Amino acid sequence: MHTDLVAALDIGGTKIAGALVDGGGRILLRAQRPTPAHEDGESVMRTVEDVLGRLTVSPLWEHAMAVGIGSAGPVDASAGTVSPVNVPGWRDFPLVERVHRAVGGRPVTLVGDGVAMTAAEHWQGAARGHDNALCLVVSTGVGGGLVLDGRLHPGPTGNAGHIGHISVDLDGDPCPCGSRGCVERIASGPNIARRALEQGWRPGPDGDATAAAVAAAARAGDPVAVASFRRAAQALAAGIAATATLVEIDIAVVGGGVAGAGDVLFTPLRRALREYATLSFAQRLQVAPALTGTDAGLVGAAAATALGGRPGEAAAYVV
Amino acid sequence: MHTDLVAALDIGGTKIAGALVDGGGRILLRAQRPTPAHEDGESVMRTVEDVLGRLTVSPLWEHAMAVGIGSAGPVDASAGTVSPVNVPGWRDFPLVERVHRAVGGRPVTLVGDGVAMTAAEHWQGAARGHDNALCLVVSTGVGGGLVLDGRLHPGPTGNAGHIGHISVDLDGDPCPCGSRGCVERIASGPNIARRALEQGWRPGPDGDATAAAVAAAARAGDPVAVASFRRAAQALAAGIAATATLVEIDIAVVGGGVAGAGDVLFTPLRRALREYATLSFAQRLQVAPALTGTDAGLVGAAAATALGGRPGEAAAYVV
């Protein structure tokens, strides 16, 4: 018997993944297709329908009670639309209505991918047991999500926790979002690599000039590489401290490719947090690496499924 | 008949005020004493008891079901203690327990003064009808509070929304809190005046060198005064935009003495917000001056009264 399964969709600029997830967060069936990111909106939707089709033909499908979608942002959960930056064919695309139709009227919940990852970390990862948490994804961009009062807090449009685009340097470099000195502009992988290159770091014989290569150089003691990670850590710390000061989180969970740098990131991050998180109620803040892996988007989308259909009342999962 | 009255205490560094407040937010009885801010903790507590005594002798007292306290911070609602910066005799002072004893065991709720002001604005002021709001007090310091999902969000310790001490300038001037580039370090009244003086502004014949005098000079066209308010507005905008990006507020309500500057503050604030609040879901943000006046602390303390005794479940008031 598989009662209370949930269908999950994880929609990104590279792949569209789907799964049937049980009440324990286990993936019983999965399907995946590359995202035709540069084709028109209907072509992208056909790929979603194809992924869903691989789930609906399963005998397990009849137990799927609801669908949870975690999507690259921006999303608008109140309108049921998505406008992923890296999928130009989708602008205010009515994804919730289209999926709703494709799954025979089952309830559909939409959240941003940072919120989905947060739901997964709260359910099964490092934020488990924490009633107030910020989870970050530090990768090509910097995203995140919040748990407040023990529940996922997607916000009215499903974007809450979007720490990558808060300004921690109000006179700083222009950010592609239109603002200045955003956390992402300083701490994302490409910006860590850019800053190291600007300061004179050079890649090794393999030509790898990514943040992962900068992390390897930092571990080997390269001072420019160390300094670039230290600056990223400082921006992340200012953003995390701001979040702790605003909503009293007690843990910040950091995932994404850049978190793979390990101590090269986490040691200066913890040091900088002591400088920026100064108020008594913010000093208790812990920092931990994320525990959920590549399935976090699917597991989190399932976890974010709204029992009542309203994102603010989400978190169908039992912690 | 006066069923369901609430007793309110507003505790600041200058005065300790008390009131009986009805279900419509009307003050039926009030008492006030200067805070003996530089005396020992027990002397301060005797002043609180004196204020409470003036309420308990009233025939209305029997209808007071609960007590709400809004206090200068930091507070710790989870421990029931207060450590107001300007009342050195109180450090981790067990105010909730002491008030609980003084009022014959009625339930007592404690929140920070920024949270209390927010409750008042949500109940009766500019945040009324808004499910997600930030309310700021810009004065000698910069404080605030949050409404999320239609309810007051004090956070576990009653300090959430403390926007004055988020860093918007990670390399900026040291703040007395220990961090750098905090909103308060740039936007508080004393810092507006300090910056204007440093840049060459001089007070008039009355010698008034407060932010109010700088505001008057700005209204008269003094470019240094205008620039000092513009810089304060920029820091407030970065902090408000960060809050909107993190928790999806749709209104920021600005009160406190500095908000009395009017257009001198609000015009550059609205302009700067368009620069920093760039993500689609943050662009809808409105800014409005606070509407509740000097009674906001008392009305808000009454509003924050927890029906169940837990701050996160607060908001006894009916919007």
Under the banding of pLDDT at 50, 70 and 90, the label for residue A317 is very low
User: What total of structural domains would you count in chain A?
Assistant: 2
Same domain, B79 and B133: no
In a domain, A318, yes or no: no
Cα separation of B166 and B164, whole Å? Answer: 6
Cα separation of B123 and B318, whole Å? Answer: 7
> What's the pLDDT at A161?
96
Q: What is the mean pLDDT of residues A193-201?
A: 98
Residues of A in contact with B171 (CB under 8 A): 169
B278 and A CB contact within 8 Å: yes
Burial B259-279 (b: 16+ CB within 10 A, else e): bbbeebbbebbeebbebbbbb
A1 and B CB contact within 8 Å: no
DSSP A258: G
Q: What is the mean pLDDT of residues A101-130?
A: 95
Residues with Cβ within 8 Å of residue A310, at least 6 apart in sequence: none
> What's the pLDDT at A2?
53
Same domain, A176 and A198: yes
* Weakest mean pLDDT among A106-115, A187-196, B297-306: B297-306
> What's the pLDDT at A294?
87
Q: What is the mean pLDDT of residues B231-242?
A: 98
> What's the pLDDT at A306?
56
> What's the pLDDT at A86?
87
Tell which of A153, A166, A313 to mutate to test the B interface (max B CBs under 10 Å): A166
Same domain, B64 and B179: no
Residues of B in contact with A247 (CB under 8 A): 146, 153, 155, 160, 246-247
> What's the pLDDT at A315?
39
Do residues B288 and B318 lie in contact, with contact meaning Cβ atoms separated by under 8 Å? Answer: no
- Name the residue range of residue A272's domain: 126-289
Q: What is the mean pLDDT of residues B310-319?
A: 37
Closest-CA residue of chain A to B233: A170
**Which among A314-318, B21-25, B115-119 has the top mean pLDDT?**
B115-119
Q: Which H or E element spans position B5? A: strand B5-11
Structure tokens belonging to residue A307? 């029992």
* Contact call for A276 and B179, based on CB within 8 A: yes
> What's the pLDDT at B309?
32
* Interface list for B 176-235 with A (CB within 8 A): 177-181, 234-235
Instruction: List, for residues A112-121, the tens digit of each pLDDT value.
Output: 999 999 999 9
**pLDDT at B306 exceeding the cut of 90:** no
Same domain, B141 and B197: yes
Same domain, A75 and A219: no
Cα A167 to chain centroid, rounded: 19
* Contact call for A161 and B246, based on CB within 8 A: yes
Do residues A122 and A303 lie in contact, with contact meaning Cβ atoms separated by under 8 Å? Answer: yes
In a domain, B255, yes or no: yes
Say which of A131, A165, A234 has its CB closest to residue B245.
A165
Distance from CA of B175 to the nearest CA of A (A): 10
For chain B, percent of residues with pLDDT exceeding 70: 95
Place of tokens 């005998």: A59
Q: For chain A, what is the mean pLDDT?
A: 93
Same domain, A71 and A207: no
Cα separation of B39 and B30, whole Å? Answer: 24
Say which of B74, B157, B241 has its CB closest to residue A167.
B241
- Packing angle of the helix pair B263-276, B223-247 (nearest 10 deg): 50
| Dihedral over alpha carbons B236, B242, B244, B247 (to 10 degrees) | -130
**pLDDT at B282 exceeding the cut of 60:** yes
Angle at B114 between CA B108 and CA B119, to 5 degrees: 65
* Contact call for B162 and A279, based on CB within 8 A: yes
> What's the pLDDT at B2?
52
Closest-CA residue of chain A to B156: A248
Between the alpha carbon of residue B240 and those of residues A14, A65, B21, B57, B178, the distances in Å are: 33, 39, 31, 44, 21
Cα separation of B8 and B4, whole Å? Answer: 13
Tell which of B152, B167, B168 to mutate to test the A interface (max A CBs under 10 Å): B167
B109 and A CB contact within 8 Å: no
In a domain, B121, yes or no: no
**pLDDT at B237 exceeding the cut of 60:** yes
Say which of B131, B160, B278 has its CB closest to residue A177.
B278
Residues of A in contact with B165 (CB under 8 A): 245, 278-279
Q: What is the mean pLDDT of residues B182-187?
A: 97
**pLDDT at B308 exceeding the cut of 80:** no
* Weakest mean pLDDT among A89-93, A150-154, B2-6: B2-6
**DSSP 3-state of B236:** helix
Cα B37 to chain centroid, rounded: 19
In a domain, A119, yes or no: no
* Radius of gyration for the alpha carbons in chain B, expressed in angstroms and rounded: 20
* Contact call for B278 and A247, based on CB within 8 A: no
Q: What is the mean pLDDT of residues B282-297?
A: 93
> What's the pLDDT at A281?
87
Nearest of B253, B240, B142 to residue B188 by alpha carbon: B142
Cα separation of A125 and A152, whole Å? Answer: 14
Q: What is the ipTM of this complex?
A: 0.91
Instruction: List, for residues A23-70, the tens digit of each pLDDT value.
Output: 999 999 999 999 999 999 999 999 999 999 999 999 999 999 999 999
Same domain, A262 and A131: yes
Same domain, A106 and A193: no
Q: What is the mean pLDDT of residues B166-181?
A: 96
Q: What is the mean pLDDT of residues B190-195?
A: 98
Q: For position B255, which CATH number holds?
A: 3.30.420.40
Distance from CA of A3 to the nearest CA of B (A): 31
* Contact call for A248 and B155, based on CB within 8 A: yes
User: HSE-up of A183 (CA within 13 Å, CB side)?
Assistant: 30
Residues of A in contact with B234 (CB under 8 A): 170
Furthest C-alpha separation in chain A:
60
Tell which of B71, B170, B247 to mutate to test the A interface (max A CBs under 10 Å): B170
In a domain, B123, yes or no: no
Same domain, A217 and A131: yes
Which amino acid does the sequence have at A139?
Answer: S
Same domain, B94 and B145: no
Residues of A in contact with B159 (CB under 8 A): 248, 279, 281
In a domain, B318, yes or no: no
Residues in chain A: 319
Structure tokens belonging to residue A196? 């190291």
B1 and A CB contact within 8 Å: no
> What's the pLDDT at A85?
86
* Interface list for B 113-142 with A (CB within 8 A): 131-132
Residues of A in contact with B161 (CB under 8 A): 246
Q: What is the mean pLDDT of residues A170-190?
A: 96
Same domain, A106 and A160: no
**pLDDT at A16 exceeding the cut of 50:** yes
In a domain, B267, yes or no: yes
Cα separation of B185 and B236, whole Å? Answer: 11
Distance from CA of A58 to the nearest CA of B (A): 37
Does residue B74 have a cis peptide bond before it, meaning omega lies within 30 degrees of 0?
Answer: yes
B81 and A CB contact within 8 Å: no
Same domain, B165 and B93: no
Residues of A in contact with B247 (CB under 8 A): 146, 153, 155, 160-161, 246-247
Q: What is the mean pLDDT of residues A213-233?
A: 98
Nearest of A112, A100, A122, A119 to residue A155 by alpha carbon: A112
In a domain, A257, yes or no: yes
Do residues B69 and B110 lie in contact, with contact meaning Cβ atoms separated by under 8 Å? Answer: yes
Helix, strand, coil percentages (3-state) for chain B, rounded to 5, are 40, 20, 40
Residues with Cβ within 8 Å of residue A192, at least 6 apart in sequence: A211, A214, A228, A229, A232, A258
Q: What is the mean pLDDT of residues B260-284?
A: 95
Which amino acid does the sequence have at B239?
Answer: G
Distance from CA of A238 to the nearest CA of B (A): 6
Tell which of B247, B249, B275 to mutate to test the A interface (max A CBs under 10 Å): B247
> What's the pLDDT at B170?
98
Do residues A136 and A252 lie in contact, with contact meaning Cβ atoms separated by under 8 Å? Answer: yes
